[in-house]
Amino acid sequence: MSLHEKSIAELAGALRAGEVSSVELTRHFLDRIGRIDSALNAFITVSEELALGSAEAADQRLRAGEGGPLTGIPIAHKDIFCTDGVRTSCGSRMLDSYIAPYDATVVAKLKEAGAVVLGKTNMDEFAMGSSNETSWYGPVRNPWDTGRVPGGSSGGSAAAVAARLAVAATGTDTGGSIRQPSSFCGITGIKPTYGRVSRYGMIAFASSLDQGGPMARSATDAAALLQAMAGFDPRDSTSAERPVPDYSATLDDDITGLRIGLPKEYFDEALPADIAASIQTALDEYRRLGAELVEISLPNSRLSVPVYYVVAPAECSSNLARFDGVRFGHRCEAPGDLEDLYKRSRAEGFGAEVKRRILIGTYALSAGYYDAYYLKAQQIRHLISEDFRRAFEQVDVIMGPTSPNTAFGLGEKMDDPVTMYLNDIYTIAANLAGLPAMSVPVPAVGGLPVGLQMVGGYFAEARLLNVAHRLQQATDWHLAVPPAAA
């Protein structure tokens, strides 16, 4: 089995046994990136020197009998995480020149765990998008069909993992940006409970929704990565002061009697029959594994998209106010006065979708409109959360499709922003409620990956990973290899 097909545990074993060194492993992936990434554009920055330096340090630790499960393992970071000394662009012209002067907590924790960073992955600009087509650095292509999108906004990370250009990668999810690309690229991704993973150094889009998480080829690998990423951080005022369980320890737990809730709103006539059939195949497998399927209702879930497109733009308009051409990032040429400096730097630095969202957010928060839009949205957000709370009184986990479609063609949905927004119809509610949610591969449709989404109760990441792992032990859908990975 080639090195890039091995799991994190298998690689850790090989590294420990001296069968391969981290430097060799890292070169293997850097080589693959060199050969394959021009067709995918999954990476914005490849940090070869830094990677090899970390790999050598990892080899030293391993030789001394030290290190943990991630020591020497090559990963990639979504270019939204500040990495000290490395360009951190957020997929935007605004930050094309920004060399981060510090490490995000997620980056520091993974560095501490000994992971080797191959580079920074491409993404929708400022995490705003569902196709990775809004990036200043050009779109990412889906390793399953390079004429199609990988999903977004963590499209680069998804494509890199699927194409075996990195063992695993970090992503972020504000409205589905880990889960939807995981679904489109056939990989396993988890958005943890809000507050589980520190947002310090993770460039902010919508502060009450953003959450960083792992993207990998299996629940087992995702568990290993999440273990290192999760935990309380005093530097993030929204960080949860809750101990992190051992995610790997409970992966094999028996799921007999697990109650799986199926929201009737997610399985209506709007869901294409072939995707519904694929989801059903996975649900049948869960029944075989001893789970009980229960129909539930999330009546306010149909309002997720409108609510999100008030809350997220409102919060982004505030967060992106810091990009003003003064302290970092893009500045326009020859500003006439301060107002000109701000207006032109921002007009030039931001792409169309980002500007649209800032403008809508500004409008929603402006005098006279705050009650009608932002306040109303936060009230409905409460109702959506209540729907979940009630549902979790009857079931342990909620399942459904991650996306209403498989990967669409590049350029297909760029004409009307609202068409693109509807992609997030199943994923957004979990962000609004702050609940943990995962996407795992189920049988492909038309040769393209399909994702099964599972939502858990607050801080139930261990349970979700366990439920996902049991499916992956019984099936092989998550092992499929895309053409681009050859």
CB atoms within 10 A of CB 260: 21
443 binds other proteins (CB under 8 A): no
Q: How far is the CB of 190 from other proteins (least distance, A)?
A: 16
Structure letter (DSSP) for residue 209: T
In the shown chain, the binding pattern of residues 286 to 305 toward other proteins, with x for contact by CB under 8 A and - for none, equals --------------x--x-x
The residue among 53 and 306 lying less far from other proteins, judged by its C-beta, is 306
Distances 31 to 28, 121, 332 between C-alpha atoms, Å: 5, 16, 38
Separation between Cα atoms, residue 46 and residue 77, nearest integer Å? 10
99 binds other proteins (CB under 8 A): yes
172 binds other proteins (CB under 8 A): no
198 binds other proteins (CB under 8 A): no
93 binds other proteins (CB under 8 A): no
322 binds other proteins (CB under 8 A): no
The residue among 383 and 480 lying less far from other proteins, judged by its C-beta, is 383
Task: Write the burial class of residue 438 (CB in 10 Å: 0-12 exposed, 13-18 middle, 19+ buried).
Answer: buried
Supply 461's token pair: 């990441």
Distances 167 to 8, 192, 368, 373 between C-alpha atoms, Å: 7, 20, 50, 43
Which residues, 49 to 88, sit near other proteins by CB under 8 A? Answer: none
Stretch that binds other proteins, among 318-326, 394-402, 462-470, 471-479 (CB under 8 A): 318-326
Instruction: Give the sheet arrangement for strand 74-78, strand by strand.
Output: 43-46, 116-121, 74-78, 168-173, 211-216, 188-191, 437-445, 448-455, 397-401, 259-263, 292-296
Separation between Cα atoms, residue 408 and residue 15, nearest integer Å? 39
Stretch that binds other proteins, among 109-117, 222-230, 256-264, 337-345 (CB under 8 A): 337-345
Distances 416 to 247, 310, 356, 420 between C-alpha atoms, Å: 41, 17, 12, 7
The residue among 346 and 463 lying less far from other proteins, judged by its C-beta, is 346
Catalytic residue among 47, 92, 130, 177: 177
Catalytic residue among 54, 89, 130, 153: 153
User: Contacting other proteins (CB under 8 A), which of 68, 231, 272, 335?
Assistant: 335
Q: How far is the CB of 199 from other proteins (least distance, A)?
A: 13
Which residues, 353 to 392, sit near other proteins by CB under 8 A? Answer: 355-356, 358-360, 362-364, 366, 373, 375-383, 385
The residue among 2 and 237 lying less far from other proteins, judged by its C-beta, is 237
Distances 290 to 220, 254, 337, 464 between C-alpha atoms, Å: 21, 9, 68, 16
- Total residues contacting other proteins by CB under 8 A comes to 71
270 binds other proteins (CB under 8 A): no
In 3-state terms, what secondary structure has residue 292? strand
Stretch that binds other proteins, among 40-48, 140-148, 216-224, 340-348 (CB under 8 A): 340-348
433 binds other proteins (CB under 8 A): yes
Cβ 68 vs Cβ 30: under 8 Å: no
- Per the annotation, the verdict on 177 as an active-site residue is yes
237 binds other proteins (CB under 8 A): yes
Separation between Cα atoms, residue 378 and residue 383, nearest integer Å? 9
234 binds other proteins (CB under 8 A): yes
Which residues, 451 to 480, sit near other proteins by CB under 8 A? Answer: 458
- Per the annotation, the verdict on 78 as an active-site residue is yes
Task: Write the burial class of residue 211 (CB in 10 Å: 0-12 exposed, 13-18 middle, 19+ buried).
Answer: buried
Cβ 273 vs Cβ 405: under 8 Å: no
Supply 46's token pair: 């490849």
194 binds other proteins (CB under 8 A): yes
User: Contacting other proteins (CB under 8 A), which of 238, 250, 281, 475?
Assistant: 238
Angle at 89 between CA 86 and CA 90, to 5 degrees: 125
State the catalytic residues.
78, 153, 177
